[in-house]
Amino acid sequence: MSHSEIRVRFAPSPTGYPHLGNIRTALFNWLFARHHGGKFILRIEDTDVTRKVEGAVENIIDSLNWLGLDWDEGPYFQSQRLPLYQEIVRKLVNQGPAYLCYCSPHRLEEMRREQIRRKQPPKYDRRCRELTVQQRAQLEASGVTPVVRFKTPLEGETSFHDLIRAKVTFQNDTLDDFILLKSDSYPTYHLANVVDDHLMVISHVLRADEWLSSTPRHILLYQALDWQPPQFAHLPMILGPDRAKLSKRHGATNIIEYQRQGILPEAMINFLSLLGWSLDDKTELLSREELVKHFTLERVGKTAAIFDKDKLEWMNGVYLRRLTPEQFASQAIPFLQRDLPSSVKRPLDDTYISIIMPLIQERARTLADVPHLVDFFFLDELEYDQSLLIKAMDAVSATKAIETSLERLKPLEAWNAVSVENILRPLATELGLTTSKFFGLLRVAITGRTASPPLFQTMATLDKQRCLKRLNKALQKIKEQK
Ligand code: GLU
C-alpha cells in the first residue's frame, strides 16, 4: 500500500439508522475515492455498547447497497479489534501522555452538576492526573476499575489545516482530559477512531462539521503517538428549510425510508451530492459518472446546505421520466403490490400494468405516488363524493349528458381512444356544454376524481364494460343526491 494513495473511510456508529447526513458523508467519501482512483473503506464504530441499536449495521449496509456506494475494504468492526486499542493505551500510559482515573461516575456527576450550577463548562477537574504512587496503590486496592484519560496540555493551542475551512485553532485549555479507554475496556470514539485511521492508512478524513471540535483531540493524540495525522475536511451542516438542524420533523430521516417513499437511488445520489457541493452555480442534474468525474473538495462549500424535500421529489420526477416505459413499469410494480387497496386481486396483471404506466409516467414524482394515481384502473367500485358530479353543472344537465353518452357509446364496437373520442367530442357541442365541463363530468364518473390521465386513453384502457358500468353508477349517484 503506497502512502500517497487516497484512502478514505465511512465510519458510522451503529447507534441508529443512518440518516441523510450520514449518507451524504458516505457519498462524499465515495466520490472522493472514485474521483482519485483511491479506496473507500467501511468501518463500523461499534464501541459504545450501551447505545448499540439492533439492526443498525444491517441498515447501514442496505443503505449503501441501495445507493450503489460500494466499498473496497471492510466492513471492519472496532468491537473485533479491542486488543489493538488496549495495547496502544498501555503504551500511552507507560510513556506518560495518558493516566488512569479512578473517579466514580457518582463523583463525576456531582462535579458536572456543580459546574453547571456555577455556569462553568462541564469538565473533568483532573483530580487523578497527578496521583502519587501511594494514592494510586490505595485506589487500586479499593477495587475501583479505572478509566484511562488523555493528558491534554494545559496551555497552548492546537491548530490544523482543514481542507474546507482552512486554518482551525483550538485553545488547549478549553479541551478536557478526555477518556481513551472506558471501564469496560472498550475504547472511546476518539481513541479507536485515531488508531484505526492510522492503522488503516487513511489519507483523508471527510466527515460532518459536528466532529470539528473532536479534531484537536485527535491531533493531540496523533502527536502523542508520534503518528502523522491524515488530512481533514469537515463537511458543511445540513439544515432543514426552516434553517434548524435537520431532524425527524423535516421528514423521514432514515435513508431507506426514501426507498420506501419511492425515490430512485440515482436521484438520491444526485440530490445528496448537491448538499454542500456544486459543479457551478446552475447545474442541478448530474449522473453518477459526471459526479465522479467532477467531484473535488475545492467545490465543497463552507456554509450550511439546506435540505429541500420538494427539490428531491422534483429531481426524482425527472429521473422517473428518463426511464424507459419498461423500466418505469418494473420499478412501479412493487409499489402497486404494496399500496393498491387490498380489495384489488393479486397477483396483478403485468400486461395491464404495462398499458397503464405510460399514462402516468409523466406525472409521478415518486414511485409511491403511482398506486394512488392509478388505483381506479384496478378497483371494481369507485368511492367518490357525488357532489363532484354536479360541481360544474346542475343535476339535470349532468344526467342528460351522461345518459346521452351511454346511449351513444353502447353500440360502439371497436373500443379505443380514437373511436371513443370521435363519439364524445361532437357530443359536447350537441349538448351545449364546453368540452372542459363535459369531459370533466365524464372524468369524475370514470375515474372518481377531477384529475387523471387523458380521458379517452383511460376509457380505452378500462374497457367498454367497465366504463358503461361507471357511467350508470354515476347516474345513480346523481339521483341519490337529489
Ligand atoms: N463514528 C463517527 C460517526 O458516527 C465517525 C465520525 C468520523 O468520521 O470520525 O459519525
Residue ranges of domains in the chain, CATH in brackets: 3-80+238-309 (3.40.50.620), 82-235 (3.40.50.620), 323-372 (1.10.8), 386-481 (1.10.10.350)
In the predicted structure, residue 116 carries a pLDDT above the cut 80: yes
C-alpha distances in angstroms, 446 versus 218, 282, 443, 478?
67, 43, 5, 14
Atom of ligand 1 nearest to the CA of 22: 10
In the predicted structure, residue 1 carries a pLDDT above the cut 70: no
User: Mind listing the pLDDT tens digit for each residue in 251-290?
Assistant: 667 999 999 999 999 999 999 999 999 999 899 999 999 9
308-321 as b/e: b if 16+ CB within 10 A:
beeebbebbbebbe
Atom of ligand 1 nearest to the CA of 9: 8
Mean of per-residue pLDDT scores for the chain = 96
**Ligand 1 site, CB within 6 A:** 11-13, 45, 189, 193, 207, 211
Report which protein residue has its CA nearest ligand 1's atom 5. 11
State the average pLDDT over residues 125-151: 94
Q: Give 275's contacts (C-beta < 8 A, 6+ positions apart).
A: 20, 24, 238, 305, 307
How many Å apart are CA 57 and CA 18, to the nearest integer?
9
Q: How confident is the model at residue 482 (pLDDT cuts 50, 70, 90)?
A: low
Report which protein residue has its CA nearest ligand 1's atom 3. 12
SS3 of 204, please?
A: strand
Give me the pLDDT at residue 47, please: 96
How far, in Å, from the CA of 347 to the mean position of ligand 1? Answer: 45
How far, in Å, from the CA of 210 to the mean position of ligand 1? Answer: 9
In the predicted structure, residue 2 carries a pLDDT above the cut 70: no
How far, in Å, from the CA of 11 to the mean position of ligand 1? Answer: 5
Question: In this structure, are residues 264 and 316 in contact, taking their beta carbons and an 8 Å threshold?
Answer: yes
CA angle 9, 76, 207 (to 5 degrees): 25
Give me the pLDDT at residue 245, please: 84
User: Mind listing the pLDDT tens digit for each residue in 144-191?
Assistant: 899 999 999 999 999 999 999 999 999 999 999 999 999 999 999 999
The DSSP 8-state label assigned to residue 213 in this structure reads: G
How many Å apart are CA 98 and CA 148, to the nearest integer?
7
Q: What is the pTM of this model?
A: 0.94
Give me the pLDDT at residue 251, please: 67
Atom of ligand 1 nearest to the CA of 193: 9
How far, in Å, from the CA of 155 to the mean position of ligand 1? Answer: 27
Grid coordinates representing 68 are 450503489
User: Mind listing the pLDDT tens digit for each residue in 185-240?
Assistant: 999 999 999 999 999 999 999 999 999 999 999 999 999 999 999 999 999 999 98
Q: Is the peptide bond before 187 cis (omega within 30 degrees of 0)?
A: no
Q: Which of 43, 45, 53 has most ligand 1 atoms within 8 Å of CB, for mutation?
A: 45
The DSSP 8-state label assigned to residue 168 in this structure reads: E
Residue 362 CB-density burial (10 A; 0-12 exposed, 13-18 middle, 19+ buried): exposed
How far, in Å, from the CA of 197 to the mean position of ligand 1? Answer: 11
Q: How confident is the model at residue 413 (pLDDT cuts 50, 70, 90)?
A: very high
Grid coordinates representing 391 are 360541481
Residue 302 annotated to the active site: no
Atom of ligand 1 nearest to the CA of 206: 8
* DSSP codes joined into one string, 234-297: EEPPEE-TTSSBP-GGGS--BHHHHHHTT--HHHHHHHHHTSSB-SSSS-----HHHHHHH--G
Atom of ligand 1 nearest to the CA of 13: 4
Report which protein residue has its CA nearest ligand 1's atom 10. 12
What element of type H or E holds 7?
strand 7-10
What is the percent of the chain where pLDDT is above 90?
Answer: 94
Give me the pLDDT at residue 3, please: 55
| Residue found by looking up cell 367498454 in the block | 464
Give me the pLDDT at residue 56, please: 97
Report which protein residue has its CA nearest ligand 1's atom 8. 207
User: Mind listing the pLDDT tens digit for each residue in 423-453?
Assistant: 999 999 999 999 999 999 999 999 999 999 9
Give me the pLDDT at residue 159, please: 98
Q: How confident is the model at residue 298 (pLDDT cuts 50, 70, 90)?
A: very high
State the average pLDDT over residues 290-296: 98
How many Å apart are CA 268 and CA 368, to the nearest integer?
15
Grid coordinates representing 271 are 440530490
Cross-sheet strand order for the sheet of 166-171? 166-171, 157-162, 231-235, 204-208
The active-site residue out of 39, 52, 91, 248 is 248
Residue 145 CB-density burial (10 A; 0-12 exposed, 13-18 middle, 19+ buried): exposed
Give me the pLDDT at residue 249, please: 76
User: Mind listing the pLDDT tens digit for each residue in 44-100?
Assistant: 999 999 999 999 999 999 999 999 999 999 999 999 999 999 999 999 999 999 999
State the average pLDDT over residues 409-418: 97
What element of type H or E holds 43?
strand 39-44
Give the start-end residues of each E strand in 48-193. 73-77, 98-101, 147-150, 157-162, 166-171, 179-181
Atom of ligand 1 nearest to the CA of 207: 8
With CA atoms as reference, report the closest residue to 313 among 264, 240, 244: 264
What is the percent of the chain where pLDDT is above 70?
Answer: 99
In the predicted structure, residue 469 carries a pLDDT above the cut 60: yes
Q: Which of 9, 207, 210 has most ligand 1 atoms within 8 Å of CB, for mutation?
A: 207
How far, in Å, from the CA of 45 to the mean position of ligand 1? Answer: 7
Question: In this structure, are residues 192 and 78 in contact, taking their beta carbons and an 8 Å threshold?
Answer: yes
Grid coordinates representing 373 are 394515481
Residue 425, φ and ψ in degrees, nearest 5? -60, -50
C-alpha distances in angstroms, 35 versus 2, 7, 259?
18, 12, 26
How far, in Å, from the CA of 244 to the mean position of ligand 1? Answer: 21
In the predicted structure, residue 246 carries a pLDDT above the cut 90: no
